[in-house]
């Protein structure tokens, strides 16, 4: 998974991200701006996941988005 591509398309993915993680605000998603570690940390904080669980969810989500494209 290429995070440079994800970063480049971050603003277009906002709707998909909100659909998956509805507790995130538009501002929080924008602030992350495609930085994987920041996004994983945000998911951890908002949902109370362990870091490894948050990483798995984030990676699986973006892998699915990439495969759907």
Kindly report, residue by residue over 5-27, the tens digit of the pLDDT. 999 999 999 999 999 999 999 99
Instruction: Tell me the per-residue pLDDT of 41-67, one tens digit each, with 9 for 90 and over.
Output: 999 999 999 999 999 999 999 988 877
Alpha helices in the chain (DSSP H): 3-8, 14-20, 26-32, 36-47, 51-68
Q: How far is CA 18 from the centre of its chain?
A: 9
pLDDT of residue 20: 95
pTM of the model: 0.90
3-class DSSP state of 19: helix
Number of domains into which the chain is organized: 1
Domain residues for the domain of 20 are 3-68
For residue 11, what is the DSSP state? G
| CATH number reported for the structural domain that contains residue 52 in this entry | 1.10.1470.10
């Amino acid at each position: 998974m290429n995070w440079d591509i994800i970063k480049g398309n971050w603003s277009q993915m906002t709707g998909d991200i909100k659909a998956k993680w509805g507790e995130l605000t538009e501002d929080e998603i924008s602030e992350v701006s495609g930085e994987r570690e920041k996004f994983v940390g945000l998911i951890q904080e908002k949902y109370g996941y362990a870091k490894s669980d948050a990483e798995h969810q984030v990676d699986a989500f973006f892998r699915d988005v990439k495969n759907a494209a």
